[in-house]
Amino acid sequence: MTDRIEIRSSVILPAEREEISLTTSDGLTLVGELALPIGRAPVATLITLHPLPTHGGFMDSHVLRKAANRLPELADVAVLRFNTRGTTSPRGTSEGVFGEGITERHDLEAAVAFAVGRGLPNLWLVGWSFGTELALKYGAAQPVVGVILLSPPLHRTSDAELATWVGSDKILAALVPEHDDYLQPAAAAKRFSMLPNLKLIGVEGAKHLWVGEVATTRVLNEIVALVNPAKSPLPDYWQPSD
C-alpha cells in the first residue's frame, strides 16, 4: 500500500488540468487553467480572482494555486484560475493592460461565461484582495451561487456598488484577517453593515497575504465549508490509490 501523504505547501494532488483561454467582450485573450476532479463530476466551481497585478498578484498567487492543487481531489471542486488583462504568470501573459478594476469587468464576465459554457455547476466567485473588488463591483449580476471574499480592502468598491447586493439571494462571505494591512474585522463589520446577510469571518492571527500553511488551510477549509460542506473539514493527509 502506498504511504499516505501529508498535505503541505508543495503538494500537488491529482486533477484533470487544462490550459484554457478566455475571450473578453472587448476582444482580448486571457490565459488560464481549469482543474477538475478526475473521473467524477465536480460538485461546485470556484472562479478565482487574483490579487492586484501591479503588486505581484496573478493566477498563481499561493492560496489560489493551492486551491487548484488540492480541492479537485479533496473536495470534488473545480477551480478556474486566470490572469486578468496585462498580467503574467508561468502560464503566459493575458492581453491588454491593467484597467484599475474598471475594464477588468470584461475579464470577470468572460470567466463566468466560460464556466457557464462548459456546464460547470454551482459557480462561486472567490476574490482575493483586488479580486474582491472585482467580485463586489460586478458579481451581483452574474449567475453565481455566491461570493467569497479573502482580505477585502474595499478600496475600489463604493457604497453604491455594495448596495447592489442589498436583497440579493446570493451567498456572501468575507474572511478578514485580524492583522490585515487594509481592513481589519471591526472596520469590515462597519463597511459591510448594509449587507446583513454577509457572513463576516474574522481570522485570528492572520495577515492580508495569508502566509503560512496554517493560514492557507484555514482559508481552504472555510471555502469548502461553504461550497461543499460534505467534504469539510479537509483531511491533513491524502492516501493515493494503488
The dihedral formed by the CA atoms of 27, 33, 35 and 38, expressed in degrees to the nearest 10 = 100
Grid cell in block for residue 236: 491533513
Q: What is the pLDDT of residues 43-101, one digit of tens each?
A: 999 999 999 999 999 999 999 999 999 999 999 999 999 999 999 999 999 999 999 99
Q: Say which CATH number the domain at 98 has.
A: 3.40.50.1820
Asked whether residue 242 carries a pLDDT value surpassing 90, the answer given is no
Distance between CA 174 and CA 83 in Å, rounded? 22
Domain that holds residue 133: 5-238
Q: Where are the beta strands (DSSP E) in 50-113?
A: 77-82, 88-89, 92-93
Q: How many structural domains is the chain composed of?
A: 1
Q: Which amino acid is at 99?
A: G
- Cα distances (angstroms) measured from residue 213 to each of 80, 146, 221: 22, 26, 12
Q: Is the pTM of this model over 0.95?
A: yes
